[in-house]
Chain A
Amino acid sequence: MIGEQLNSLNYKENSLFIEDKSLKREINSLKLGLTLKRSEQNAGLTINPLGESRYEILKSGQRHFLQKKELIQLLENIAETQKNQDQIKKSQKNINSILKGKLKKNNIKRFFKNSTEYYQDVIKTLIQSEKIEDLPWKLSKLKVFKSYHSFITISLQKGSSKSLICDLGKSNRLKKYYFDSREFNNIFNAIRKSKSSYFYEHKIISKSLKLVGCFLAKTFTLKTHNLIVIISKDDFIPPSDGESKIFNEFSMAIEKALQFIELKNIIFSDLHLYLSTLYQLDYYIAIMDQNLLVAGNTENARFDKSFTQSWSNLEIQYSNSSNRFTSTDLFHYQRIKLLGELFNILKHELSNPIFGMKMSLDLLMTESIEDDPKEILEQIKDSADRSLEILNSMTDIFSNEKKEVTRSIDEILSKVYTLCKSELKLINFQILYAEDSHKDVKVKSNMTFLTQVLFNLLINATQELKKAHENPRNRKIVLSPVVNDNYVEILITDNGRGIPESEQDKIFQLFYSQKSTGNGIGLPLSRALAQKLGGDLLLQSSEPGSTTFILLVPICSEDE
Chain B
Amino acid sequence: MKVLIIEDEILILKSLKMVFEKLGNNVDTATLGRQALELILNNDYDLIITDLMLNDISGFDILEGSLKKYKRDELPSRFVIMSAYSSDQITGRAREYNCLFLSKPFDNIHKTVDDIVSRFK
Contact = CB atoms under 8 A, between A and B. Distances in A.
B54 A425 contact: yes
Interface stretch (B10-18, B42-50, B71-79, B93-101): B10-18
A363 B55 contact: no
A356 B9 contact: yes
Contacts of A426: 53, 57-58
Interface string B76-106: 0000000011000000000000000000110
A359 interface: yes
Contacts of A379: 10-11, 14
A357 B109 CA distance: 13
A351 B58 contact: no
Interface string A458-490: 000000000000001100000000000000000
A376 B14 CA distance: 9
B15 A360 contact: yes
Given A348-B85, A352-B12, A367-B22, A358 B105 contact: yes
Given A367-B18, A472-B61, A425 B55 contact: yes
A404 B2 CA distance: 57
A362 B108 CA distance: 9
Contacts of B53: 422, 425-426
A10 interface: no
A116 interface: no
A351 B84 contact: yes
Interface in B1-41: 9-12, 14-16, 18-19, 22
Q: How large is the interface on B (under 10, 10 to 19, 20 to 34, 35 or more residues)?
A: 20 to 34
Given A363-B18, A422-B53, A353 B11 contact: yes
Interface in A536-558: none
A355 B14 CA distance: 12
A418 to B, nearest CB: 14
A12 to B, nearest CB: 95
Contacts of A353: 9, 11
B57 A472 contact: yes
B71 to A, nearest CB: 22
Contacts of B84: 348, 351-352, 355
A369 B17 CA distance: 12
A293 interface: no
Contacts of A92: none
A358 B109 CA distance: 10
Contacts of A355: 9, 12, 84, 104-105
B15 A359 contact: yes
Nearest to A358: B105
Contacts of B104: 351-352, 355
A274 to B, nearest CB: 44
**What's the dominant secondary structure at chain A's contact region?**
helix
Contacts of B15: 356, 359-360, 362-363
Interface string A374-389: 0010011001000000
Contacts of A367: 18, 22
A363 B19 CA distance: 9
Contacts of A380: 11
Nearest to A422: B53
A383 B14 CA distance: 13
B54 to A, nearest CB: 7
Given A348-B85, A363-B18, A383 B61 contact: no
A273 B56 CA distance: 51
Contact of B11 (A360, A425, A472): A360
Contacts of A359: 11-12, 15-16, 105, 109
Interface in A418-437: 422, 425-426
Interface centre among B18, B54, B56, B61 (most CB of A within 10 A): B18
Nearest to B58: A426
Contacts of B10: 356, 379, 383
B105 A351 contact: yes
A352 B53 CA distance: 11
A354 B104 CA distance: 11
Contacts of B56: 472
A473 B33 CA distance: 12
Contacts of B54: 425
B50 to A, nearest CB: 14
A358 to B, nearest CB: 7
A462 to B, nearest CB: 13
B58 A472 contact: yes
A362 B18 CA distance: 12
A329 to B, nearest CB: 28
Contacts of B58: 426, 472
A383 B11 CA distance: 8
B73 to A, nearest CB: 23
B105 to A, nearest CB: 4
A396 to B, nearest CB: 24
Interface string A330-361: 00000000000000000010011111111110
Given A358-B105, A359-B15, A367-B18, A352 B57 contact: no
Contacts of A362: 15, 109
Given A348-B84, A355-B9, 14 more contacts: A351-B84, A353-B11, A355-B84, A355-B105, A356-B15, A357-B11, A358-B105, A359-B15, A363-B18, A376-B14, A383-B9, A422-B53, A425-B53, A472-B57
Interface of A: 348, 351-360, 362-363, 367, 369, 376, 379-380, 383, 422, 425-426, 472-473
Interface of B: 9-12, 14-16, 18-19, 22, 53-58, 61, 84-85, 104-105, 109
30 contacts: A348-B84, A351-B104, A352-B9, A352-B12, A353-B11, A355-B9, A356-B10, A356-B15, A357-B11, A359-B11, A359-B105, A359-B109, A360-B15, A362-B15, A363-B18, A367-B22, A369-B18, A376-B11, A376-B14, A379-B11, A379-B14, A383-B11, A425-B53, A425-B54, A425-B55, A426-B53, A426-B57, A426-B58, A472-B56, A472-B61
What 4 A-B pairs come out closest when comparing CB atoms?
A356-B11, A355-B105, A359-B15, A356-B12
